[in-house]
Chain A
Amino acid sequence: MLTITDLSHIYPNGVKAISSLSLTIPKGMFGLLGPNGAGKSTLMRSIATLQTPTEGAIQFGEIDVIKQPAQLRAQLGYLPQEFGVYPRVSALQLLDHFARLKGFSKPVERKEMIEGLLNQVNLWGVRKKAVASFSGGMRQRFGIAQALIGDPKVLIVDEPTAGLDPEERARFLNLLASLSDEAVIILSTHIVEDVSDLCPNMAIMAGGRIVLEGNTSDLIAGLNGKVWRKVVPRAEVAQYQSQHRIIATRLFAGETVLHALSENDPGNGFSPLQQGLEELYMVTIQEDRGLLPQTS
């Protein structure tokens, strides 16, 4: 279990990226959602020992992550949102390099693991190509492979499926799911389906704070019977927005579809909508921003 207590981080330029954040992350997949600038990356870098938070504590089991970063690193897998590679180094060589850095001194063991990982992320065919020449998706798959070296007990992945095609995305999600029993896996993403599909627990961050946290199914169930939909002419959207708590305006088959939040049937032709995580995310963020008007 990973426990974060009163974590704050202020950058030298005065930006307060995280503010008194407390969070408990159990074993298994944990989804972290939030808009750009919410502080997700700062939080994950802090957990990954890449920066020292200004205040607060991070505990993983018996390990004080801030005071004993080396002990966490021995059990850590990390995939940042963006990363570069060494020029003219093949996927096989680079993965081998990371395996060595992670302490794998036995060549046979290292070889078997690296080849397995290359297979898992479907890079076997290009294992001898320079990683620098990979496309975005291929590079992302390489990043996933290196994060998995060493069977990490804490796996932090930031936007892992960005740039992956649907097939590779599915492959990756399956891979993550297979690891989730023994490890704390933090999945930060903007793709809410990834969280809803994989993560039994989740949190939504905004403004450096956790604004919603809990069991994913329970949180979604909380909106049961409260989300409504209606197809409206585009010209009338503003009118509906003033009359209802509109949480989303969508286009579907060329028509404008409004999603509204209401305890009861808002009438006016709205029909019930099977709510999902996306609606929960929109409601949470808009409520946090104070953008959701109260109905009269």
Chain B
Amino acid sequence: MFWTVARFEAWYQLRNVYVLAWAFLSFAVTLGIFVFEPMRIDPGVSLTMTSPTYLLGVYIGIAVSLIVPMTPILGGAVVRDLQLGSGELLRATLITRTGYVFGRFIGAFLPIVLIFLLHIPLIWLACEWPGLPPNKFPDIKLAALLQPAAIAASTLVIIACILFAVGTLARSTLVSYIIVALLLGAWIFVLSKLRFGGYEDMRNALDWTGFSSVFIANEARSIFERNTELLAISREFYYNRAGWIGIGASSLFVAWFLQGIRGGLWGNRQVDSATGSIAPEVGPLKLYRNQIDAAAFRTQIWARLTLDLKRIVVSRSFALLMLGGMYLCWVIANNTGSFGDRGIEPVTRLLVNELHDASVFIIFLTSSIFASELVWGDTDRRIHELVDVTPTNTWVYVAPKLFVICAASLSFILVGSVVGMIAQAVKGYPLFEVGKIAVWLWVPMLFTVFQFSVAALLCHSITPNKVWGWVLYLALTAGLSTLAANLGFDHVLIEYGVSELPPLSDFNGLAHFWKGFAWLHMHWTLVALFLLLCTILMWRRGVEQRLKPRFLALKGNLRSANGLALAAFCLASLGSGGWIFYNTNIVNTYVTDTGYNQWAAEVERTVAPLEVLPGPTIVALKLTVDIRPKKVTATAKGTVTLENRTTRPLTQFIFNHSDLTLVSASMPGAALKEEVKNAYVDVWTFTKPLQPGERRDLSFETSMDGHSVASRYPPTSIVSNGTFIESTDLVPRVRIDREAWLTDPEERKKYGLPAKRPLPAAMMDENFYAPGSGWIDADITVSTDVGQIPVAPGILVRETIKDGRVTRQFRPPVKINNLFAIQSANYVVKRERIQLDNGPVELEIYHLPGFTRNLATIMTAMKSSLKTFSELYGPYPFGVLRIVQTPSYGAEDIAAQAYAGMVPFYEDGGWLQIIDETAYSNNLSETVAHEVAHMWWGHQIVPSMRPGAKVLTEGLAEMTSWLALEDLFPAELIISYVNEAEDAYENKRGKETEGEPILTMMEGEEYLAYGKAPVALYILRNEIGPEAFDAALRSFIKRYAFADRPYPNLEDLLVALKAAAKPEVHALIDQFFTDRVRWRTEISSLDATKPNKSGSVVSVTAGAWTESLDELGMPYASAGIGRGRIQLFHSVPCDKEQSKSWTKFMTAEDTKSGIGECWASEEVATFTVDFKRTLGRFQFDIPSAKWVETVQIGQAQRFRISTISDSQSRSETFFPPHDFLPSQKPK
């Protein structure tokens, strides 16, 4: 019977046009992705499209997209019998409940499986398609085709079971779709939000596709491995599959069970108790005449409102969405307290930003779902004819529906906010700042909800069915702006509604940004009101489906009150739109994404030839900046001193004002020769050539205005409290810079630019931070309103207060880079002083009142860093070190920056961080140490623009910051930072699509600058010897500190290191900097006979070798590491001292989870072996009666490379781990 049911169901579904259409679409898209170049989703330069990694993505995509047809098919497989009434007929046959439920499931699922399986030969065919580029499509292997398909198929099975159960439980396709939306939303959330912060386990568990486990297991693999090897499958993947398949199977059982209870097909039937009673005596009927007046209107409105409210609020979809929304808000609110992998205080500003993202998603979902339900509800229930003939004004239909949709969306936001505040409280922030949430979130969301609800109502009221309503809504709210953006017409007046929040900061709250957003809200609310009137005038009554009669009705009603209101709102929205357009496009220049790219390409073409033009060098700057916080403006006046440092007279120079608003510029003996149109770059001529060594002053005046009308992403430099201006926004430059140039290879290709434009030789030796500038003598005066403190680099030499203005003049005691920041806010200052060998240094922390949580930590880290670096690398030259709290506008992922003697520290990364007192270290101290290290590496040593420059700045700053922390934290635990950097490098290099450059050719690759370079330098420090290494760096600084051209480069550093290193270390230096070498070690087995009096025999299969890789990660050579050691251990419980030492660093969570149990490894024996290029089998006689449980292999005293425990093999790649590396400081 089971097969009979299944066969029929499969036959039935295979005739379903919807299934066939989706199959056809899926086949066409899949084929197109491979063979049709414009549709191709290119995985990057190096990853092939026949690799298992890429194919897994394709299969997962297919499986997830198949959810769309699966939802109605599986959800309706059983329910349709209940709805159509055919259930009674089926129950009268010999079909059993089990046969029926499982037969229906298998039968409905078979067509989906068939469609999915047909993709496999289709992909094979696509990969063999003639004419495809062979580098992208090398021969496909059967296993590579099948393994990812099997992974994705498991997802298909799981989701099918769940959908079947949901459909059976909910008996509503709409609810099934909501469940699907929630599942997909949760999946996207899991993939995007749980990537960091120690949520990997949760991510592995919650990802119902299993993709995360596979992703993590393969994350550190090279492109070569990804292209050639099958996907690595971890235990976590199997656990994940087992768990989710269990959930799926349970769902099926639930579906089976539900069919046996009341309401199910096999349950007891509900008896219709509504029988007629004997008619009472009937007298003459008394009928009243109705009166359509204001009271009637109110009655009608109330009647519809209560009905629509009940319809939504008591619906299963509302309950599901509410639960889903609450869950979503809970998760994101919990996620609020993190900055990367750091725990930070979940302040309301952060919560609001997170809630806002969720709210926009919920608004879109609820408005779309409930509008369709309310607009089509009467028609679906076939009661629309009775309702529509009643003498009701159309407002009676529309107004309550609009209210209910808005109320539903707002209730989600309100409940989500409450959930968020509870989560805040649970995380230790129990302030319940309702006022802030109301002003920052609820008020703007009120307008957003209205705008989107009206759009949803309109779309469903003018389309012939729900599906078209959804399509139109999607097109209006997302499609239109996307299309416009693709066509190069993106504009705030095209993107419907306002779904963004103004930038928020603890400095200012909404600051002045709310004004621009108010304009946007006003405009789109007026548009929404116009659309609302259109909806009313074109409302569908009765059975009318045609648009024409409704347009005629609208036209005919133009003279009614509604028509007049329509005209009024039309004019008002045109007026507000016109005002916005006037400001964005006429008063200012509106730059679309496409327009910007076109402009950038044009600028590059125009100004690239000017890069070779020799020019003068800026050697001094005198700057006066007038900040007006209340007016949100700033003006700057100043002079830059230009010097001819070439050997020939200069007749012209570049005047670059591309990042600033130039008011005026003048220079004696020079004049504007040519304006490079649209590039904001001019060519000036010296009327009298500037002779070698000659200096002249260029005066300039610039301005900044922080106002913006109707920008979704307003400028944030100047605010009423927390102004942060970079020097490039105020001071003109004298070289071409490449800031605006396109970097994406595809974009560059699109606009006819070469893939890369090599830096001309003339620019190679320029200052890395400020091309065209040397080390400058700076004199900076900043004024601001009284109550605020202006901050700039240098020693404070003068402070005056006059006419409500405070003015401070700063003069650095040494030359600085022509790259600095000026800040102003209502700061309080914590001051201390540290006495270093070469004199005292003033320590100042500028922070907002109340942000005192981490002052001690920051101050301690400042002192420790200054002490360490001045001892190791020479004196601190700036006299004062300031750390300045800065709003996080646009810098949400950045912790801090470093300028000469001054470190702007963004509010999220530093001031909110929760320092766990029980933890052995904290990232905040590491950040402080890194930025202080830049006072040597970046602000004493500045590299030239040659490749590898960032090794001298970020690489050295990162590595030396670890040394500074050794004073603060246990030395052996500093290694965790090294491992983090190494992990970051390993993870990122696997995603490198352009090929991994060697360090000496590195340009902007941050994973090399912050990952590989510091780890390499750290290892070299130990290889060369800490004292010799640090002495080499000290000499390096001594030679190049504040030295003008030629600036040092990486080659110079390597020369210095090699000079300090023994010859046998030179090869290692080269391997790190001029080669790509990966250490591969593996222990695949450990076998030991049972120990007895005579000991035991232990066999170990292990290997240790190196692989040289090309830029795509492909090994081209390998070699055994030669003599190495194998150490055998057994485990013993820790003694008291060990336990005490160990638990000192354990958190409560560690102890709870058992990590806190302390076991020590006791060495049993060590053997020296010769490691070849491949795994070798080694056998040892152990004269000890101890179980050998752990093996370590390594090379001499240098590396512990790999371990094995409980026969679980573990391998390490690329860098030798550093756990055993001595970490010493010179005495």
Query: Contact between B285 and A101 (Cβ–Cβ < 8 Å)?
Result: no
Among B469-477, B524-532, B540-548, B1020-1028, the one that faces the other chain is B540-548
Residues of chain B within 8 A (CB-CB) of A191 are none
Q: Is A263 engaged at the interface, CB distance under 8 Å to the other chain?
A: no
Q: Which residues of B contact A171 (CB under 8 A)?
A: 279, 282
Query: Of the 9-residue stretches B13-21, B184-192, B296-304, B972-980, which lies at the interface with chain A?
Result: B296-304
In chain B, positions 355-397 with a C-beta closer than 8 Å to chain A are 381-383, 385-393, 396
| Residue B307 interfacial (CB < 8 Å) | yes
The CA of A113 and the CA of B295, in the complex, are separated in Å by 18
Question: CB of A234 within 8 A of chain B?
Answer: no
Would you call B578 an interface residue if the criterion is a C-beta within 8 Å of the partner chain's C-beta atoms?
A: no
Whole-angstrom distance from the CB of A148 to the nearest CB of chain B? 7
B589 at the interface (CB under 8 A from A): no
Judge whether A162 is part of the interface by a CB distance below 8 angstroms: no
The answer to whether A49 and B381 touch (CB under 8 A), given A113-B287, A134-B274, is: no
Q: Is A133 an interface residue (CB 8 A)?
A: yes
Task: Please report the C-alpha to C-alpha distance between residue A124 and residue B286 in the assembled complex, in whole angstroms.
Answer: 16
Cβ–Cβ contact B276 & A103, under 8 A: no
- Provided the pairs A117-B285, A126-B274 are in contact, do residues A104 and B290 lie with their beta carbons within 8 angstroms? yes
Known: A78-B385, A98-B386, A101-B300. A150 touches B273 (CB 8 A): no
A190 within 8 A of B: no
Name the interface residues of A105-163: CB closer than 8 Å to any CB of B. 105, 109, 112-113, 116-117, 119-120, 122-126, 129-130, 133-135, 138, 143, 146, 148-151
A148 touching B285, Cβ below 8 Å: yes
For residue A224, CB closer than 8 A to chain B, the reply is no
Query: For residue A138, which residues in chain B have a CB less than 8 angstroms away from its CB?
Result: 274, 276
B664 CB–A CB distance under 8 Å: no
Partner of A113, one of B277, B288, B396: B288
Please report which residues of chain B, range 391-439, place their CB below 8 angstroms from some CB of chain A when the two chains form the complex.
Answer: 391-393, 396
**CB contact under 8 A between A102 and B391, given known A83-B385, A84-B383, A125-B277:** yes
Q: Which residues of chain B are near A196, meaning CB under 8 Å?
A: none
A175 to B287, CA, bound (A): 12
Closest to B546 in A: A12
Q: Are B290 and A103 in contact (CB under 8 A)?
A: yes
Evaluate contact between A130 and B274: CB separation under 8 angstroms: yes
Is A82 in the interface zone, CB < 8 Å from B?
yes
User: Whole-angstrom distance between the alpha carbons of A113 and B287 in the complex?
Assistant: 6
B296 CB contact (under 8 Å) in A76, A105, A151: A105
Q: How far is the CB of A262 from chain B (nearest CB, A)?
A: 45
Closest to A91 in B: B274
Which of B274, B283, B396, B541 neighbours the largest number of chain A CB atoms within 10 Å of its CB? B274
Q: Is the CB of B275 closer than 8 A to any CB of chain A? A: yes
Binds B, one of A32-40, A66-74, A197-205: A66-74
Residue of A nearest to B392 (CB): A101
By a CB distance below 8 angstroms, the chain A residues around B609 are none
A86, B289: Cα distance in complex, Å: 25
Q: Which of B274, B391, B549 contacts A70 (CB 8 A)?
A: B391
Q: Contact at A12–B543, with CB atoms within 8 Å?
A: no
Interface size on B, residues (CB 8 A): 52
| A296 interface residue (CB < 8 Å to B) | no
The residues in B between 262 and 276 inclusive whose CB is less than 8 angstroms from any CB of A are 272-276
Please give the distance in Å from B1036's CB to the nearest CB on chain A: 82
| Contact between B383 and A122, CB atoms less than 8 A apart | no
Asked whether any CB of chain B lies closer than 8 Å to the CB of A169, the reply is: no
Residues of chain A within 8 A of B396, CB atoms compared = 101
Separation in Å of the B298 CB from the closest CB of chain A? 7
Cβ of B277 and Cβ of A103 under 8 Å apart? Answer: no
Say whether A151 contacts B390, CB under 8 Å. no
For B303, the closest partner residue in chain A by CB is A100
Interface size class of A (residues with CB under 8 A): 35 or more
- Residues of B near A120 (CB, < 8 A) are 282, 285
B800 interface residue (CB < 8 Å to A): no
The verdict on B1154 contacting chain A, using a C-beta distance below 8 Å, is: no
B804 part of interface (Cβ distance < 8 Å): no
Instruction: Give chain A nearest CB distance to B745 CB in angstroms.
Output: 51
- Which residue of chain B lies nearest to A41 when distances are taken between CB atoms in the complex? B543
Query: Does B292 reach chain A (CB closer than 8 Å)?
Result: yes
Q: Which of B274, B280, B546 is the one whose CB lies under 8 Å from A119?
A: B280
Q: Are A112 and B286 in contact (CB under 8 A)?
A: yes
Return chain B residues, CB-CB under 8 Å to A76: 389, 391
Contacts of B303 in A (CB 8 A): 97, 100-101
Residue of A nearest to B285 (CB): A120
Within the assembled complex, what's the spacing in Å between the Cα atoms of A133 and B391? 28
User: CA–CA, A176 to B916, complex, Å?
Assistant: 84
A27 is an interface residue with CB less than 8 A from chain B: no
- Least CB separation from B295: chain A residue: A105
> What CA separation (Å) do A119 and B276 show in the bound complex?
11
**Contact code string B301-345 (vs A, CB < 8 Å = 1, else 0):** 011100100010000000000000000000000000000000000
CB distance from B621 to the nearest CB of A (A): 75
Which B residues from 531 to 578 make CB contacts under 8 A with A?
541-546, 549, 556
User: Smallest Cβ distance from B88 to chain A, in angstroms?
Assistant: 16
Of A45, A74, A126, A150, which one neighbours B288 at CB under 8 angstroms?
A150
> Is A135 a contact of B272 with CB atoms below 8 Å?
yes
* Residue B278 at the chain A interface, CB threshold 8 Å: yes
Write the chain B residue with the least CB distance to A79: B386
A213 to B159, CA, bound (A): 63
Picked from A49, A102, A109, the residue with its CB within 8 Å of the CB of B541 is A49
Q: How far is the CB of B30 from the nearest CB of chain A, in Å?
A: 36
A50 with B544, Cβ < 8 A, contacts A73-B390, A84-B381, A126-B274 known: yes
- Which B residues are CB-close (under 8 A) to A58? none
Contacting residue for B299 out of A48, A78, A104, A175, CB 8 A: A104
Residues of B within 8 A of A45 (CB): 385, 542-543
B290 engages A129 (CB within 8 Å): no
Residues of B within 8 A of A98 (CB): 386-387, 390
Compute how far the CA of A117 lies from the CA of B303 in the bound complex, rounded to whole angstroms.
20
Contact with B along A4-30 (1 / 0, CB 8 A): 000000001000000000000000000
CB distance from A147 to the nearest CB of B (A): 8
Asked whether any CB of chain B lies closer than 8 Å to the CB of A80, the reply is yes
Cα distance A105–B291 when bound, in Å? 8
Contact check, B386 vs A150: say whether CB atoms are below 8 A apart. no
Inter-chain contact A86/B381, CB cutoff 8 Å: yes
Most buried by B among A100, A116, A124, A146: A100
Q: Is B1063 an interface residue (CB 8 A)?
A: no
* Interchain CA distance A76-B390 in the complex, whole Å: 8
Pairs of residues from A and B, 9 with the lowest C-beta to C-beta distance, nearest first: A125-B277, A50-B542, A84-B382, A103-B296, A100-B303, A151-B287, A129-B274, A122-B279, A105-B295
A-B contact pairs, 26 of them (CB 8 A): A50-B544, A51-B544, A67-B556, A69-B541, A73-B392, A74-B290, A74-B292, A76-B391, A78-B389, A80-B385, A85-B381, A85-B383, A86-B311, A86-B383, A101-B390, A103-B291, A103-B292, A105-B293, A116-B285, A116-B287, A126-B275, A135-B274, A135-B275, A150-B287, A150-B290, A178-B285
User: Which A residues have a C-beta under 8 Å from some C-beta of B?
Assistant: 12, 45, 48-52, 67, 69-70, 73-74, 76, 78, 80, 82-87, 97-98, 100-105, 109, 112-113, 116-117, 119-120, 122-126, 129-130, 133-135, 138, 143, 146, 148-151, 171, 175, 178
